[in-house]
């Protein structure tokens, strides 16, 4: 498992890359880049929230169950993002 600092660093790096691309683009390209930048902000926020919950309720079985479900949904979103990015690369 990647530690929280590394997760946040990855999110920040991707957010800044897509934000800068969006700010220097126009039309559909800018819109697509802003969507990706916001995606990375959402992921970063999710990582922070999940980490905070994990730290405040480390042994509560019900919380652990909800955390596992939330992490699975987040992993699914990241996998979908990767799949869409791969599809975009293959189409170009």
Residue ranges of domains in the chain: 4-91
d(CA 14, CA 10): 6
Take residue 65 and report the two structure tokens written for it: 């169950």
Asked if residues 47 and 5 have their Cβ atoms less than 8 Å apart, the reply is: no
pLDDT surpassing 90 at residue 16: yes
Question: What pLDDT is recorded for position 44?
Answer: 98
pTM: 0.89
d(CA 57, CA 49): 12
* Band of pLDDT at residue 5, cut at 50, 70 and 90: very high
Take residue 64 and report the two structure tokens written for it: 């652990």
Task: Please list the helix, strand and coil fractions of the chain in percent, rounded to the nearest 5, in that order.
Answer: 90, 0, 10
> For residue range 41-90, what is the model confidence (pLDDT) as tens digits?
999 999 999 999 999 988 899 999 999 999 999 999 999 999 999 999 99
């Amino acid at each position: 498992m990647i530690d929280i600092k590394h997760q946040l660093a990855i999110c920040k790096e991707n957010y800044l890359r897509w934000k800068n691309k969006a700010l220097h683009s126009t039309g559909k390209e800018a819109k697509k880049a802003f969507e990706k930048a916001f995606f990375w902000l959402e992921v970063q926020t999710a990582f922070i929230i999940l980490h905070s919950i994990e730290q405040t309720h480390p042994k509560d079985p019900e919380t652990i169950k909800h955390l596992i479900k939330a992490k699975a949904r987040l992993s699914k979103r990241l996998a979908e993002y990767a799949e869409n990015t791969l599809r975009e690369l293959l189409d170009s």
